Amino acid sequence: MLRKSLAVVALAFALGGPTAPPSAYAVDAVATEAGLPPAEAVTYENVEQLKALAAKRPTVVYFHAHWCPTCQATLTSLEARWPEVRRGLVLLIADYDKDADLKRAYGVTYQNTFVQVAADGSKLKIWNGGGIETLNSRTQFPQ
């Protein structure tokens, strides 16, 4: 179960208010990959935060727009199925409208975009849409 729900992040975006606190939303899921911590979802704060997370764990930035029905559906699906997200993953939720520098840095041109970030902060992969299966299959994990 999520300590805080992804819906909190979506609601904060929808209301235009502050995003969720910087602490992570850990999931108490059954271990599917030995030795890896549970998947986490956090809100984007700054590039330093992103690099610090990516240096430690596979990190994917999700560009969410509060006005986007597809983004809202994606967050709803992620919340409902969060225990299925691969252990060890960090999902960093960025505001498509407010985080313009980050969007530009990764070449993101529309909302509902996922970007996996390398340990040094560079872009590894980029894709649009998809659910848990896509997130799990497209995210590269160290061997």
pLDDT in tens, the chain (143 residues): 333 445 445 444 443 433 333 333 333 333 345 678 999 999 999 999 999 999 999 999 999 999 999 999 999 999 999 999 999 999 999 999 999 999 999 999 999 999 999 999 999 999 999 889 999 999 998 76
What pLDDT does residue 36 have?
84
What pLDDT does residue 28 have?
35
Q: Round to whole Å and give the CA distance between 40 and 50.
A: 13
pTM of the model: 0.78
Q: Which among 59, 40, 141 has a CA at the least distance from the CA of 102?
A: 59
Q: What is the mean pLDDT of the chain?
A: 81
Q: Round to whole Å and give the CA distance between 31 and 83.
A: 9
For 73-101, write each residue's pLDDT tens digit. Answer: 999 999 999 999 999 999 999 999 999 99
Tell me the domains of the chain and their CATH numbers: 6-138 (3.40.30.10)
